[in-house]
Amino acid sequence: MIACLERFVHETDAESRPHDDDDDDSLCRGLELQGSIDYGSTGGLAGKDFGGLYQGKAMAIIRPAGSQDISRVVKAASRSSNLTVAARGNGHSINGQAMADAGLVIDMRSMMSSMDDAFIRVVRMNGAVYADVGGGALWEDVLKRCVSGYGLAPRSWTDYLGLTVGGTLSNAGVSGQAFRYGPQTENVSELEVVTGKGEIVVCTAAHNSELFFGVLGGLGQFGIITRARVLLQSAPDRVRWIRGVYAEFDEFARDAESLVSEADGEAFDYVEGFVFVNSDDPINGWPSVPLDPEQWFDPTRIPRSAGPVLYCLEVGLHYRNVDRPSTVDEVVERLLGRLGFCKDLRFQVDLTYVEFLLRVKRAEEEAKLNGIWDAPHPWLNLFVSGRNIADFDHTVFKNILRHGVGGPMLVYPMLRSKWDDRNSIVLPEGEIFYIVALLRFNLPYPKGPRVEELVAQNQEIIQCCTKNGFDFKLYLPHYNSEQEWKKHFGNQWSRFVERKASFDPMAILAPGQKIFSRNR
Ligand code: FAD
């Protein structure tokens, strides 16, 4: 479909004219896109995100058919005096990061539907296998295609797969495999990117490397990822998924850290953990731990020494259909035998690999039915240094959050050495750091708490970390001032600014991150 509604008159004319909205309008109407431009419903898809805390009103939504369309849009924006462009993945940001107020929002998902089956292509190179994947593809589609078509799968995931490839690569993409393979940003070898100058550039760690590393974890600031080459490995058939409960944080942390530090070989393939409330609260407490409706959490098994919260280590072991059940049992028992969780508070299920990776989808379906999915989600994600995590437990989990957050409170360790420091992500110092993810799922007010109270609690947690001198960074960061961004990036700020000047000098891209202002 040609979306050329009106020819854009004369480029140089536009450059010399002072800006007004009509100029932007005609500029967009003059784009000859293979895809389409939608001027209606801009407050809908483009103005909302999963967080539900911010609302935007874009000037138009672009549904591109390919990278050329995106390039045209970015170039057109650069000819205007004030237009910005936001790639929108699946809009699962919390704080309006994928919005462009009065700007152009590119619906990356629509690019996938116009490419049909071609959006995931398996390529073999130098003894390794990769999937070439569109930036707007959902990870759940990548999973299904790679497993069912080839018996292959990416190595590193997020817990929830209704996220786009470009969206998670712009942040990091972490789950229980990151301790071994690093985040998703460590598992791509090549990207096709449309820069803020509208250039379509293919980049790798060796060619156009500054752009490659900049874009990974780059919060959408340097380019729009239109294709990623994702490393694959042979997919297992099944996963044994196990949870074990601890009363003491130091024992939980010691076991979790030893599991993530083990050399490859006989080890769990997935390691995560979470904190839950020591009560019968159906959402925050004991009932949140069993993996199956048939299982029951027996509170009489909780050690007397337990405090207001308990800890749960969550591990997974991959295996194949041909593996004998007794062999799988032996390996699991050997690995679990070294751990100090309460042996009577252990839960396990066996799932297919795809079921395991789609485990959060069930929660999504339930939350959609009861209205919680569409309610605001003031989530907070932090990376906290291993040095400070025990104090964090003491001050935050056992105190500020002792009644829970209305959803999972994830906490598990990762290794800094698995994260390439050439990319744009910032982490605490030291080899071991923890992700802390406070995934609030509350009913909308007045059935649930006021959003303002939850946002205030997030602020209290951040202030508590700052006051106590904890070494921490926000994951999926959100700040409103340059000063705060500077502090966030620390000694990497100047590199971030230089990359911006090189690849998006007019600051057109991802305005919703509120890092840079559009240059006029
Ligand atoms: P969007 O929210 O649409 O965009 C995010 C940012 O990236 C925006 O600034 C946008 O402009 C930019 N962007 C989007 N696409 C591109 C592109 N192609 N090129 C360049 N920039 C782009 N994160 C984890 O690491 N692990 C998890 O387990 C995890 N689970 C989650 C579960 C849920 C239910 C939700 C809501 C979020 C979860 N996240 C998780 C966070 C998630 O990774 C981020 O919110 C991510 O940004 C969402 O991807 P998206 O495709 O919706 O991106």
Give Rg (Cα) of the chain.
23
Q: CA distances (Å), 208 to each of 69, 81, 190, 276, in order?
A: 22, 28, 10, 45
Categorize the per-residue pLDDT at 203 as very low, low, confident or very high, splitting at 50, 70 and 90. Answer: very high
Half-sphere exposure of residue 61: CA atoms within 13 angstroms, side-chain side: 22
Categorize the per-residue pLDDT at 231 as very low, low, confident or very high, splitting at 50, 70 and 90. Answer: very high
133 lines ligand 1 (CB under 6 A): no
The CB density around residue 333, as the number of other CB atoms within 10 Å, is: 9
172 lines ligand 1 (CB under 6 A): yes
pLDDT value at position 35? 94
For atom 18 of ligand 1, the residue with the nearest CA is: 166
Residue 428 scores a pLDDT above 90: yes
Per-residue model confidence as pLDDT tens digits over 124-161: 999 999 999 999 999 999 999 999 999 999 999 999 99
For atom 43 of ligand 1, the residue with the nearest CA is: 168
Single-letter amino acid, residue 87:
A
**Tokens found for residue 294:** 């048939």
For atom 12 of ligand 1, the residue with the nearest CA is: 220
Mean pLDDT calculated for residue range 280-308 = 97
pLDDT value at position 353? 98
Of 32, 11, 196, which is closest to residue 103 (Cα–Cα)? Answer: 196
For a ligand 1 pocket test, name from 73, 93, 188, 366 the mutation site with the most ligand atoms within 8 angstroms of its C-beta.
93
Per-residue model confidence as pLDDT tens digits over 336-354: 999 999 999 999 999 999 9
Mean pLDDT calculated for residue range 475-495 = 96
The CB density around residue 519, as the number of other CB atoms within 10 Å, is: 13
pLDDT value at position 118? 55
Distance from the alpha carbon of residue 164 to the mean position of ligand 1, in angstroms: 7
Note whether 157 and 357 are within 8 A (CB). Answer: yes
Per-residue model confidence as pLDDT tens digits over 238-279: 999 999 999 999 999 999 999 999 876 789 999 999 999 999
Mean pLDDT calculated for residue range 110-130 = 80
For a ligand 1 pocket test, name from 67, 108, 159, 163 the mutation site with the most ligand atoms within 8 angstroms of its C-beta.
163
Three-state SS for 500? helix
pLDDT value at position 7? 29
Pairwise CA distance, residues 34 & 416, whole Å: 43
Half-sphere exposure of residue 199: CA atoms within 13 angstroms, side-chain side: 11
Per-residue model confidence as pLDDT tens digits over 360-400: 999 999 999 999 999 999 999 999 999 999 999 999 999 99
Distance from the alpha carbon of residue 512 to the mean position of ligand 1, in angstroms: 13
pLDDT value at position 9? 27
Q: What is the mean pLDDT of the chain?
A: 93
For atom 37 of ligand 1, the residue with the nearest CA is: 92
The angle, 0 to 180 degrees and rounded to 10, between the axes of the packed helices 493-503 and 482-489 is 110
Cβ-proximal residues to 64 (8 Å cutoff; 6+ apart), any chain: 33, 34, 35, 70, 73, 106, 107, 108, 110, 111
Residue 236 carries which DSSP code? P
pLDDT value at position 113? 64
Residue 115 scores a pLDDT above 90: no
Distance from the alpha carbon of residue 175 to the mean position of ligand 1, in angstroms: 13
**Tokens found for residue 415:** 């290794």
Distance from the alpha carbon of residue 365 to the mean position of ligand 1, in angstroms: 19
The CB density around residue 125, as the number of other CB atoms within 10 Å, is: 10
For a ligand 1 pocket test, name from 168, 187, 357, 364 the mutation site with the most ligand atoms within 8 angstroms of its C-beta.
168
137 lines ligand 1 (CB under 6 A): no
For atom 23 of ligand 1, the residue with the nearest CA is: 173
Pairwise CA distance, residues 57 & 452, whole Å: 22
391 exposure class (CB count in 10 Å sphere: 0-12, 13-18, 19+): middle
Pairwise CA distance, residues 417 & 28, whole Å: 45
220 lines ligand 1 (CB under 6 A): yes
Pairwise CA distance, residues 219 & 16, whole Å: 32
For atom 13 of ligand 1, the residue with the nearest CA is: 167
Distance from the alpha carbon of residue 497 to the mean position of ligand 1, in angstroms: 22
Residue 312 scores a pLDDT above 80: yes
pLDDT value at position 30? 76
517 exposure class (CB count in 10 Å sphere: 0-12, 13-18, 19+): exposed
For atom 45 of ligand 1, the residue with the nearest CA is: 93
**Tokens found for residue 126:** 């130098």
Pairwise CA distance, residues 326 & 332, whole Å: 10
- The yes-or-no answer on residue 394 being catalytic is no
91 lines ligand 1 (CB under 6 A): yes
What residue has token string 């979790």? 256
Distance from the alpha carbon of residue 158 to the mean position of ligand 1, in angstroms: 10
pLDDT value at position 20? 55
Per-residue model confidence as pLDDT tens digits over 451-467: 999 999 999 999 999 99
User: Cα–chain-centroid distance for residue 60?
Assistant: 25
Cβ-proximal residues to 226 (8 Å cutoff; 6+ apart), any chain: 66, 67, 70, 111, 134, 135, 166, 192, 193, 194, 200
Residue in 132, 159, 364, 391 annotated catalytic? 159
User: Cα–chain-centroid distance for residue 517?
Assistant: 24
Residue in 24, 38, 69, 92 annotated catalytic? 92
Categorize the per-residue pLDDT at 43 as very low, low, confident or very high, splitting at 50, 70 and 90. Answer: low
pLDDT value at position 158? 98
Note whether 439 and 408 are within 8 A (CB). Answer: yes
Distance from the alpha carbon of residue 305 to the mean position of ligand 1, in angstroms: 40
For a ligand 1 pocket test, name from 45, 61, 92 the mutation site with the most ligand atoms within 8 angstroms of its C-beta.
92
**Tokens found for residue 40:** 């209606």
Distance from the alpha carbon of residue 440 to the mean position of ligand 1, in angstroms: 17
Pairwise CA distance, residues 176 & 317, whole Å: 11
Categorize the per-residue pLDDT at 2 as very low, low, confident or very high, splitting at 50, 70 and 90. Answer: very low
Categorize the per-residue pLDDT at 22 as very low, low, confident or very high, splitting at 50, 70 and 90. Answer: low
410 lines ligand 1 (CB under 6 A): no
Residue in 272, 314, 393, 504 annotated catalytic? 272
For atom 27 of ligand 1, the residue with the nearest CA is: 158
Distance from the alpha carbon of residue 108 to the mean position of ligand 1, in angstroms: 12
Residue 252's φ and ψ, nearest 5 degrees, are: -60, -50
Task: Provide the whole-model pTM.
Answer: 0.94
Three-state SS for 469? coil
